[in-house]
Amino acid sequence: MSPLPGFPGSGLAKGLAVTLRTMTKKSVTAQYPDTQPALAPRTRGVIGLFEENCTVCMLCARECPDWCIYIDSHKETVPAAAPGGRDRSRNVLDRFAIDFSLCMYCGICIEVCPFDALFWSPEFEYAETDIRELTHERDKLREWMWTVPAPPALDPAAEEPKELAAARKTADKLAAQAAARPDPHPGPQADPKGEDS
């Protein structure tokens, strides 16, 4: 490795050379408060709540390993939509809070949410001076929703997302029906793929 492997002290000199070279290079330290860090697209900064989607199914609270999600709700009766119909009951969210002093940012709540009410936000500057103030309520969580970035683009050769495929299939079907009604001849050329499945 070294030009003089047997020479005593060559190892010491090599070490000195390494540190000297490092000193002449530009340091990689980011001056954080002055310059914002470049965050990765899926940064796990904080959990935002899209409360319009929440149905108080409690899955997130139950799956949370730290038990850091607090949910209160009550039932509300919705009068029947059609005359003679039955009244429906519906869950109304009273409180949704996450204690970020307990949260370990595992993201299980976000994974299990069946209605896409929880999202990762890259926002990370929410330090508090009191640990109790780290329990953030639904209004704060809702505000963080605005900082959730659009999902990153798919890989070029990726499979089409299921919901998009389903939506397009329905749209195609509707279009085909619409096309079939005024025009007598059916269109097998319209979408053979859609007919297959």
Partner 1 sequence: MNDVLDVALRLLIVFVVFLTLPLIVGQTEHKVMAHMQGRLGPMYAGGFHGWAQLVADGVKFAQKEDVVPAGADRRVFQLAPAVALLPYLLVLLALPIGPGEGAVGQVLDAGVFFVLAVMGVGVLGSLMAGWASANKFSLLGGLRTAAQLLAYELPMLLAAASVAMAAGTVSLVGILDAFEWWWLPWQIVGAIVFFVAGLAELQRPPFDMPVADSEIIFGAYTEYTGLRFALFLLAEYAGIVVLCGLTTVLFLGGWHGPWGADGLGWVWTLLKTAVLAFVVIWLRVTHPRLREDQLQKLSWTLLVPLALAQIALTGVVKVVIS
In the bound state with partner 1, the residue whose beta carbon lies nearer, of 16 and 80, is 16
Counting contacts by CB under 8 A, is residue 25 touching partner 1?
yes
Q: Which stretch binds partner 1 (CB under 8 A): 18-26, 62-70, 160-168, 180-188?
A: 18-26
**Cβ neighbours of 145 (radius 10 Å):** 17
Task: Identify which range of 9-17, 64-72, 80-88, 183-191 contacts partner 1 by CB under 8 A.
Answer: 9-17
d(C-alpha 141, C-alpha 112), whole Å:
18
27 near partner 1, judged by CB under 8 A: yes
Q: What ranges in the chain are assigned the alpha helix state H? A: 10-24, 59-63, 108-112, 138-145, 162-180, 192-196
* Interface region with partner 1, contact rule CB under 8 A, candidates 13-21, 49-57, 94-102, 147-155: 13-21
Distance CA 117, CA 135 (A): 18
Residue 49, classified by CB atoms within 10 Å of its CB into exposed (0-12), middle (13-18) or buried (19+), is buried
Work out whether 31 is an interface residue with partner 1 (CB under 8 A): yes
The torsion defined by the Cα of 149, 45, 71 and 81, in degrees rounded to 10, comes to: 0
16 vs 180, beta carbon nearer partner 1: 16
Which residue lies nearer to partner 1 by CB, 24 or 189?
24
And the tokens for 79? 């009068």
Supply angle C-alpha 94, 95, 96, rounded to 5.
135
Choosing from 23, 38, 157, 158, the residue that interacts with partner 1 (CB under 8 A) is: 23
Which listed range, 27-35, 45-53, 112-120, 160-168, lies at the site for partner 1 (CB under 8 A)?
A: 27-35
Among 7, 15, 65, 88, binds partner 1 (CB under 8 A): 15
CA distance 121 to 39: 11
**To the nearest whole angstrom, how small is the minimum distance from the Cβ of residue 13 to partner 1?**
10
* Three-class SS state of 177: helix
Contact residues toward partner 1 (CB under 8 A) are: 12, 15-16, 18-20, 22-23, 25, 27-29, 31
